[in-house]
Amino acid sequence: MRSDEPLMEATTLLGVIAAALLGVFLTIKFPKSFVFAAVWFIMLEDSIQWLFKIEWITYTDEVVTALAALIFPLGRLMSKRRLVRIPGMGWIVLFVFAGGIGNALNATPAEVFALGAGSALKGLVFAFAVAQLDWTPRDIQRSAKYFFLIGTALVVTGAINLVAPGPWAQVFSPSGNLDYRFGIPSLIGPFVHPGIYATVLGLISVAALSYRRTVRKSRASAFLAFTTAVGSLLGMRRRLWASAAMAWAGLLARTSTRATAVLVTVLAVPVGILVSGDFFSSIFGSISREYLSETGQASAARTVLSLGAVDVANLAIPFGAGFGRYASWVAALRYSPEYVARGFDHIWGLTPLERGSSNFLLDTFWPAVIGETGWLGLFAFVGLVLSIIRMFYKLSAKTESRALARCVGVTGFGWMLFILFDSVAGPSFYNPLYMILYAIIGVGSHLYFTKPVPTAAVADDLDGSAAEKAPNDGEPATEPSGPGRAMVRRGR
């Protein structure tokens, strides 16, 4: 043992304790600021771990979820108010039931069940906790301003990355190199992987476009929507290009009149196919070969994992292997016996983590749902997703008088489309990167399920001038009283 190891362990322990105490303080005193800061910190946790070699930072999402789940509902109950639900509560119960029965039938160790269920449900738990806070137009307006500042900072880092790709990669990329596609470097910005950069900027571009379509058009929102969209494209990830295109199209269709949406579709689709058919054909052809083909190492690993999930579900109809047992982070960490039984430990890309060729154990999402919770769990999760989309769809209706509430609805609707497409070949709904989605589900749930007192319409702007005059939509203006993983976790 090195002589400095006890000192390092003591320093780490003190750091964890200090961080936990700070988190408790912020959660109690500044809950909304805590939510906003936490989701962005989680996005950067891989970079922080890489740059500062802080191993325990990878558990930030678990700590954040635990603090929020304990303190936010307690604060609401102490103020003698009912808890706010999130959409699809019945579906969530059915999903947990399906996974839990699978664990029981397979005599899964309690630790594996707890870790697996916690990993699968933490996003939903976080959304429920966030829904307990009293979200007002002023809070959403403030978030819009922060989105602008963060988005601008990410665009600037991407520009520097583009100008000096070599030096930038030496600092931020664990491999020390950048991928080049079509002769262009895949930008990573302040992150460790281009997929993260493309995802984050894609989500910001959807939010900025939503603001322009529902609240107010301004130079700031135009700048943010355009530059983040370009930055997302320069992440050079084909799947995320398609995800962003789906989100933008859905957002524009939702915020347009029916006649306009139909006209745009009728005119734009044929023209787009004629002008760029070869380009998009090559993109979707590449995606098909990489993710769906039965030849090649990468596609073979994905295909085997997907077919294995179907096999597991069919053997235990209507249940699966149980939480933590298939295509999830816990199944990779505690190499699942389901993998060994099917010979995955001899297939490139699906071997145990210590062998270093386990890239595809977390490269998909739906096999995890099917393999762990079976066909019943799949039915429940699809029902949950549709319930969330329905909430955002209704909140984004033109009949919604609160402009910023409608902005939340349109943004959430666009983000759901983005993440649904990403789920074809990514961990998506289980990915800590998407804790920001669960945050907006919580905000949207509060706006949708709490009945506001009718107030005068409010004009909102990115400069915040109107926010000072904004009514509180029938909710208290004050805060409620009261108290990846490294890269393998993100499946990138």
Q: What is the mean pLDDT of residues 285-313?
A: 67
Q: Are 349 and 358 in contact (CB under 8 A)?
A: yes
Range in 203-217, 248-262, 477-491 the model is least confident about: 477-491
Q: Are 444 and 207 in contact (CB under 8 A)?
A: no
CA nearest neighbour of 197 among 328, 88, 43: 43
Domain ranges in the chain are: 31-293+364-490
Over 90: is that where the pLDDT of 281 sits?
A: no
Assign 488 to helix, strand or coil.
Answer: helix
Quote the pLDDT of residue 353: 81
Token pair for residue 294?
């039965």
Helices vs. strands in the chain: H and E counts, helices first? 19, 2
Taking the C-alpha atoms of residue 452 and residue 469, their distance in angstroms, rounded to an integer, is: 17
Alpha helices (runs of H) in 316-365, residue ranges in sequence order: 329-333, 337-341
Over 80: is that where the pLDDT of 335 sits?
A: yes
Beta bridge partners of 307: none
Give percent above pLDDT 90 in the chain: 55
At 59, give phi and psi (nearest 5°). Answer: -100, 15
Range in 129-138, 300-309, 318-327 the model is least confident about: 300-309
Q: Mind listing the pLDDT tens digit for each residue in 363-385?
A: 789 999 999 999 999 999 999 99
H or E element: which one contains 184? strand 184-185
Look up tokens 């609707």; give the residue: 413
Instruction: Compute the CA torsion angle 84, 88, 90, 96 (nearest 10 deg).
Output: -100
Taking the C-alpha atoms of residue 23 and residue 16, their distance in angstroms, rounded to an integer, is: 10
Q: Mind listing the pLDDT tens digit for each residue in 213-229?
A: 999 899 999 999 999 99
Q: Are 33 and 7 in contact (CB under 8 A)?
A: no
Quote the pLDDT of residue 43: 93
Look up tokens 């805060």; give the residue: 479
Q: Are 405 and 447 in contact (CB under 8 A)?
A: yes
pTM of structure: 0.84
Looking at per-residue pLDDT, the higher value among 126 and 280 belongs to: 126
Quote the pLDDT of residue 415: 96
